[in-house]
């Protein structure tokens, strides 16, 4: 059984290889493909308000997400999340479960909406998944993502109101 829980320091040994492999492909996140472990630790663990993992019954970490305010001050009621699922665990509903979990957590932590700032247009799985979970494409940023294989591709800003 997979559970979603708060990140614990011991999890990093499994989380870092998953993030490193994901960012190295240069097709879904803006992090430099050769980002250092310390840079990603700071971005994924230290800076966010909270980080979570999806863990299998045997302790294997299958996915991770962070939750943080998208803006400072008067914009800090809108949160931002980033999600990564291990390559071997994709297509099993883990991202869907993490996104649903993150919305519940966000509301519990006082956020009113969730925004994704740079959803790469060629990442069709992610775009469809977020749309299916109620996120709308509210803006298209022309050529805003420098895809490692495809060059400049469009990126979407996606938004979902969490409370009225």
Ligand X SMILES: CC(C)(COP(=O)(O)OP(=O)(O)OC[C@H]1O[C@@H](n2cnc3c(N)ncnc32)[C@H](O)[C@@H]1OP(=O)(O)O)[C@@H](O)C(=O)NCCC(=O)NCCS
Q: Smallest distance, Å, CB 125 to ligand X?
A: 4
What does the DSSP 8-state code read for residue 46? I
Out of 31, 83, 135, 145, the residue judged to bind ligand X by CB under 6 A: 83
Helix (H) or strand (E) holding 99: helix 94-108
CA 83/CA 99 separation, integer angstroms: 8
Stretch that binds ligand X, among 9-17, 70-78, 102-110, 117-125 (CB under 6 A): 117-125
CA 154/CA 148 separation, integer angstroms: 13
Q: Supply angle C-alpha 43, 47, 51, rounded to 5.
A: 85
Out of 14, 76, 90, 131, the residue judged to bind ligand X by CB under 6 A: 90
Binding to ligand X by residue 91, rule CB under 6 A? Answer: yes
Binding to ligand X by residue 102, rule CB under 6 A? Answer: no
Residues recorded for the chain:
164
- Contact footprint for ligand X (CB under 6 A): 22, 28, 83-85, 90-96, 116, 119, 123-126, 128-129, 132
């Amino acid at each position: 059984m997979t559970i979603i829980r708060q990140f614990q320091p011991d999890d990093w040994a499994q989380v870092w290889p998953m993030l490193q492999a994901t960012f190295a492909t240069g097709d879904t996140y803006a992090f430099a493909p050769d980002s250092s472990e310390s840079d990603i630790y700071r971005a994924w663990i230290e800076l966010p308000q909270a980080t979570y993992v999806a863990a299998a019954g045997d302790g294997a970490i299958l996915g991770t997400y962070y939750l943080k305010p998208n803006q400072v001050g008067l914009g800090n009621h809108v949160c931002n999340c980033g999600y990564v699922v291990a390559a071997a665990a994709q297509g099993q509903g883990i991202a869907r479960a993490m996104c649903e979990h993150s919305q519940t957590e966000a509301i519990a932590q006082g956020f009113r909406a969730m925004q994704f700032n740079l959803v790469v247009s060629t990442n069709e799985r992610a775009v469809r998944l977020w749309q299916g979970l109620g996120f709308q494409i509210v803006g298209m940023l022309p050529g805003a993502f420098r895809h490692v294989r495809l060059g400049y591709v469009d990126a979407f800003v996606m938004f979902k109101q969490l409370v009225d």
